[in-house]
């Protein structure tokens, strides 16, 4: 099957590369464009709808390869669930790219897509584990179903929120997809996840040729929502015990968009602003305000995403005996994230509690040393 995965990756990349210029022309024709304003960094009118090229390449490659895949009913169900929910998401995103739908309408569309995946195809979290406890414990549907829907909708929006610079959301999503691909290679029955990840990664890279700075086309909500939806669904398909402590692996896979979303919510809450109100306080905005160029900012965030992805792979290989390693890594990551957030001022430049504590400790140490 290895040749099928490689062929699928190459075919998806090629189709995405071919479809993207066609979608660009279509976007201009239907006036699905992004105009500059005070919140945006681009200075000229840009075509949206790039997500159509990504989705068309992904779905098209699957249907081209399907006669040679010989998948059983269960794995076909997983792929068809992703395609069905993804189609709804792409339609909602494309309509938003053209007509700018309200946040409530988009949220409703995301919930419907998540419900299609959960109720129509049975894709949901089934098990969880706790540190130093039983490795696999079943979850009741009354918890599993809302948890799965919340996860899918949350990750979908997290990718959408970081789509603020050329190539940023596509690159971060590509790194997350590659991480899932690597993790699936360690799984006993990871063939379906490997296949989907290969097709999705190829579709993203083909699009990135036109989306990396200076971008010729934006992916729009049709792309960012589809990528977020795909990553959320893939993480559930690949890691059926993805809750509580085992949730750590999927959390690390998409660590950049999730942490940026978390800090955005905290920032708006601290400043008494609506949680869904757009602003220029995201990670990429903060890095640019520190003087980094557009390209350097994107590459730096790629580096952070790669760190999260590598950590996810390492943690996935930690045995039950070494649970303390997982706990220590999580604690260290939280501290580093908080320090980084305070340094760049992603929440509030005037409130830096951890840095203040470290500064007081340093001053106390210097005072004690001088007194001796």
Q: Report in angstroms the alpha-carbon separations of 241 from 121, 126, 210, 231, 237.
A: 18, 6, 37, 16, 10
Q: What angle do CA 78, 81, 86 make, to 5 degrees?
A: 130
To 10 degrees, the CA torsion angle through 293, 227, 106, 149?
Answer: -130
81 in Cβ contact with 44 (< 8 Å): no
Q: Is 160 marked as binding a ligand?
A: yes
Q: What's the CA gap between 316 and 303, in Å, rounded?
A: 20
Q: Where are the beta strands (DSSP E) in 18-92?
A: 33-34, 46-47
46: which strand partners? 34
Do you find a cis peptide bond into 248, omega within 30 degrees of 0? no
Q: For residue 214, what are the contacts with CB-CB under 8 A and spacing of at least 6?
A: 166
What whole-number distance in Å separates Cα of residue 99 and Cα of residue 95? Answer: 6
47 forms beta bridges with 33
> Taking each helix axis from N to C terminus, what angle separates 73-99 and 191-211, rounded to the nearest 10 degrees?
20
The tokens for 87 are: 């189609």
Q: Which helix (H) or strand (E) holds 128?
A: strand 127-128
Residue pair 77/116 in contact by the 8 Å Cβ criterion: no
Q: CA torsion sign, 294 to 295 to 296 to 302? A: positive
- Please give the Cα distance from 245 to 97 (Å, whole number): 37
Binding positions: 160, 221
Binding site as annotated, residues for Mg(2+):
160, 221
């Amino acid at each position: 099957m290895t040749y099928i995965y490689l062929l699928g990756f190459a075919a998806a990349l090629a189709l995405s590369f071919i479809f993207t210029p066609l979608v660009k022309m279509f976007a201009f024709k239907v006036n699905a464009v992004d105009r500059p304003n005070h919140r945006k960094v681009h200075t000229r009118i840009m075509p949206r709808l790039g997500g159509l090229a990504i989705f068309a390449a992904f779905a098209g490659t699957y249907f081209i390869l399907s006669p040679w895949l010989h998948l059983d009913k269960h794995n076909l169900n997983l792929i068809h669930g992703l395609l069905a929910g993804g189609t709804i998401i792409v339609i909602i995103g494309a309509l938003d790219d053209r007509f700018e739908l309200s946040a409530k309408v988009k949220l409703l569309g995301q919930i419907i897509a998540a419900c299609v995946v959960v109720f129509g195809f049975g894709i949901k979290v089934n098990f969880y584990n706790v540190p130093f406890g039983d490795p696999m414990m079943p979850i009741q549907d009354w918890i599993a179903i809302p948890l799965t829907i919340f996860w899918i909708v949350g990750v979908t929006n997290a990718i959408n929120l970081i789509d603020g610079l050329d190539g940023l959301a596509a690159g971060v999503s590509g790194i997350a997809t590659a991480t899932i691909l690597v993790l699936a290679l360690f799984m006993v029955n990871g063939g379906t996840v490997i296949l989907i990840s290969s097709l999705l990664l190829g579709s993203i890279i083909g699009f990135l040729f036109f989306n990396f700075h200076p971008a010729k086309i934006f992916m729009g909500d049709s792309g960012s929502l589809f990528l977020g939806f795909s990553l959320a669904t893939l993480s559930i398909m690949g890691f059926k015990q993805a809750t509580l402590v085992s949730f750590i692996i999927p959390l690390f896979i998409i660590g950049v968009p999730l942490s940026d979303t978390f800090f955005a919510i905290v920032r708006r809450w601290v400043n008494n602003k609506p949680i869904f109100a757009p602003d220029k306080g995201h990670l990429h905005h903060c890095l640019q305000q520190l003087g980094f160029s557009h390209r350097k900012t994107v590459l730096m965030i790629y580096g952070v995403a790669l760190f999260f992805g590598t950590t996810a792979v390492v943690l996935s290989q930690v045995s039950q005996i070494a649970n303390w390693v997982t706990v220590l890594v999580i604690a260290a990551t939280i501290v580093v994230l908080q320090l980084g957030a305070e340094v760049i001022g992603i929440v509030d430049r005037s409130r830096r509690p951890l840095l203040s504590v470290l500064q007081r400790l340093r001053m106390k140490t210097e005072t004690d040393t001088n007194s001796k």
